[in-house]
């Protein structure tokens, strides 16, 4: 290959005769002579790069460059042939940002490096539902990259994952229960649900718990989508939290002003009444075996014997909560006075505020990260997912959503 105002590739003068269409021509207005920015995703310790192949006859392959967080320079870590358009970089450390760039190698010429892509691997991936676009989206750990998108459920309202089988379950306003695999492919669906709302998965056996009929009834399905039982007696189910030590589920009823512990067989084991004004979001702490309950301005802990402890009373309404399973700390979405702005708090087990982060709008859901002490937030009014550090700093964002609603961790 010769570069001298025109590029000669396999006997064809590229610049003058092809009107800068040669992708490796530095004056090509679309490519600037470089490989276009590659895609990058991570799954646990593995990072996968992929790119659009350069269609020229004398391409030999691609050089892969990497810079690990803390290093000053990029290093050439591998060369792959022209027939390959992806590269897997294994054994990457969690919480360590990695940058990649790629060059194109021909006979006698190497292109400038592509634009860089960065990613921070970690032990989880996240699923979010976008009710506006009707999409189920899988995100990387750092929430900066999309792994897969599915649009089988047109009106998704809740999502949960089975950590054992890696299945992803979604309920839809039209009365469907969908099952997806970890790649976002739907395996089957169940219909006939009436106005489903909340969804939770029992981590002990993978059974699916769903509130139906405007939150007045509770239905359980097994992992094959077969209904096991259905019970009523609720006025308005507002929160559900299954737990693995006994294989049951806590149910909050905002109209009945109580919480109920239901066994895996559908039997009522415990009911706590006359303690709450407006119980909504609930989250179980597995190690401590207590339940966090958001009740209007108040945050409670409920113990297995039914003992209730008020930990804090805030100035504004608590909308949603999630427990850090490593520490028992509770991440909280608080609705501010105008009904639009939200702030995110982290409280310790005694109700002391450790973190306060503002700048959110109509935040709908959050998930605590028990690996690094942070969380991710569905910042619905700002059309984005946000990743926060343990100190409440924004360390990752992905924009472009329509109406984020619920999230789950895989």
Q: How does pLDDT run across 342-370, given as a tens digit for each residue? A: 999 999 999 999 999 999 999 999 999 99
Q: Domain boundary residue among 86, 119, 152?
A: 119
Burial of 343 (0-12, 13-18, 19+ CB in 10 A): middle
> Does position 62 have pLDDT exceeding 80, yes or no?
yes
- Regarding whether 382 and 236 lie in a shared domain, the answer is yes
Whether 13 maps to a domain, the answer reads: no
Residue 45, exposed/middle/buried by CB under 10 A (0-12, 13-18, 19+)?
middle
CATH code for position 316: 2.120.10.30
Per-residue pLDDT, averaged over 236-264, amounts to 93
One domain for residues 115 and 168: no
Confidence category of residue 20, pLDDT binned at 50, 70, 90: low
How far from the centroid of its chain's Cα atoms is residue 33's Cα? Answer: 36
Write the pLDDT tens digit of every residue in 194-234.
999 999 999 999 999 999 999 999 999 999 999 999 999 99
CA 177, distance to chain mean position in Å, is: 20
Can you give the residue range of the structural domain that contains 58? Answer: 23-119
Q: Are residues 72 and 151 in the same domain?
A: no
Please answer whether residues 47 and 89 qualify as being in contact, where contact means their C-beta atoms are separated by less than 8 angstroms.
Answer: yes
- Residue 119 pLDDT > 50, yes or no? yes
Are the C-beta atoms of residues 178 and 134 closer than 8 Å to each other?
no
Cβ–Cβ < 8 Å for 379, 404: yes
Range scoring the smallest mean pLDDT among 19-33, 166-180, 341-355? 19-33
> For 153, phi and psi rounded to 5 degrees?
-100, 110
| Domain co-membership, 350 together with 367 | yes
Clarify whether residues 54 and 197 are in a common domain: no
d(CA 218, CA 257): 17
Q: What is the mean pLDDT of the chain?
A: 93
Q: Do 156 and 298 sit in the same domain of this protein?
A: yes
95 with 133, same domain: the answer is: no
Place 18 in a pLDDT band, splitting at 50, 70 and 90. Answer: very low
Is 53 a residue whose pLDDT tops 60? yes
Does the structure show a pLDDT above 60 at 7?
A: no
Query: Tokens representing 7?
Result: 């590029």
Instruction: Assess if residue 365 is contained within a domain.
Output: yes
Q: Give the number of other Cβ atoms within 10 Å of residue 367's Cβ.
A: 23
Asked if residue 192 and residue 267 are part of one domain, the reply reads yes
Whether 177 and 242 map to the same domain: the answer is yes
**How far is Cα 282 from Cα 305, in angstroms, rounded to an integer?**
17
Is the pLDDT higher at 40 or at 24? 40
Whether residue 4 is contained in a domain is answered as no
Within 10 angstroms of residue 202's Cβ, the number of other Cβ atoms is: 22
In this prediction, residue 25 carries a pLDDT of 83
CATH of residue 42: 2.60.40.10
Neighbours of 126 (CB within 10 A): 25
The b-or-e profile of 292-318 (16+ CB within 10 A means b, else e) is bbbbbebbbbbeeeeebeebbebeebb
Mean pLDDT of 236-257: 92
Largest CA distance in the chain: 86
- In terms of domains, do 205 and 245 share one? yes
Q: What is the DSSP string of 243-274?
A: ETTTTEEEEEETTTTEEEEE-TTS-EEEEE-S
| Number of domains within the chain | 2
Mean pLDDT of 15-37: 76
What is the SS3 assignment for 173?
Answer: coil
Residues 333 and 236 reside in one and the same domain: yes
- Average of per-residue pLDDT across 70-90: 97
Q: What does the pLDDT average to over 138-167?
A: 95
Residues 83 and 134 in one domain: no
CB distance 346 to 331 below 8 Å: yes
Residue 17 lies in a domain: no
Q: What is the pLDDT, as a whole number, of residue 11?
A: 34
Inside any domain, residue 94? yes
């Amino acid at each position: 290959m010769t570069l001298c105002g025109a590029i000669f590739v396999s006997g064809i003068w590229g610049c003058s005769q092809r009107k800068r269409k040669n992708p490796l021509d530095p004056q090509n207005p679309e490519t600037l002579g470089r490989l276009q920015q590659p895609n990058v995703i991570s799954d646990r310790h593995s990072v996968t790069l992929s790119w659009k192949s350069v269609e020229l006859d004398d391409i030999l392959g691609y050089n892969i460059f990497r810079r690990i967080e803390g290093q000053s320079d990029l290093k050439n870590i591998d060369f792959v042939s022209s027939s390959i358009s992806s590269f897997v970089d294994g054994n990457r450390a969690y919480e360590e940002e990695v940058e990649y760039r790629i060059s194109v190698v021909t006979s006698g010429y190497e292109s400038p490096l592509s634009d860089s892509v960065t990613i921070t691997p970690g032990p989880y991936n996240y699923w979010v539902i976008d009710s506006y676009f009707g999409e189920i989206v899988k995100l990387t750990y750092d929430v900066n990259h999309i792994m897969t998108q599915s649009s089988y459920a047109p009106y998704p309202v809740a999502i949960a994952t089975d950590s054992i089988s890696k299945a992803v379950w979604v309920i839809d306003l039209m009365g469907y229960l969908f099952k997806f695999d970890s790649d976002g492919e739907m395996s089957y669906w169940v219909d006939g649900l009436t106005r489903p709302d909340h969804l939770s998965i029992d981590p002990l056996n993978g059974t699916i718990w769903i509130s139906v009929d405007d939150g007045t009834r509770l239905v359980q399905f097994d992992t094959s989508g077969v209904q096991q039982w259905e019970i009523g007696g609720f006025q308005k189910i507002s929160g559900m939290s299954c737990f693995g030590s006994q294989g049951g589920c806590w149910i909050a009823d905002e109209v009945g002003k109580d919480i109920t512990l239901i066994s895996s067989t559908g039997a009522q084991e415990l009911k706590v009444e006359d303690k709450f004004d407006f119980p909504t979001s609930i989250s179980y702490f597995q190690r401590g075996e207590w339940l966090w309950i958001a009740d209007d301005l108040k945050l409670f802990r409920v113990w297995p014997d039914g003992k209730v402890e008020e930990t804090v009373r805030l100035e504004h309404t608590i909308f949603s909560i999630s427990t850090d399973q490593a520490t028992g700390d509770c991440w909280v979405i608080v609705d501010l006075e105008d009904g639009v702005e939200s702030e995110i708090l982290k409280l310790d087990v005694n109700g002391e505020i450790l973190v306060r982060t503002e700048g959110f709008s109509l935040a709908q859901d959050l998930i605590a990260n028990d690996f690094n002490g942070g969380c991710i937030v569905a910042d619905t009014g700002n059309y984005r997912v946000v990743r926060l550090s343990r100190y409440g700093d924004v360390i990752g964002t992905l924009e472009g959503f329509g109406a984020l609603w619920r999230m789950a961790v895989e």
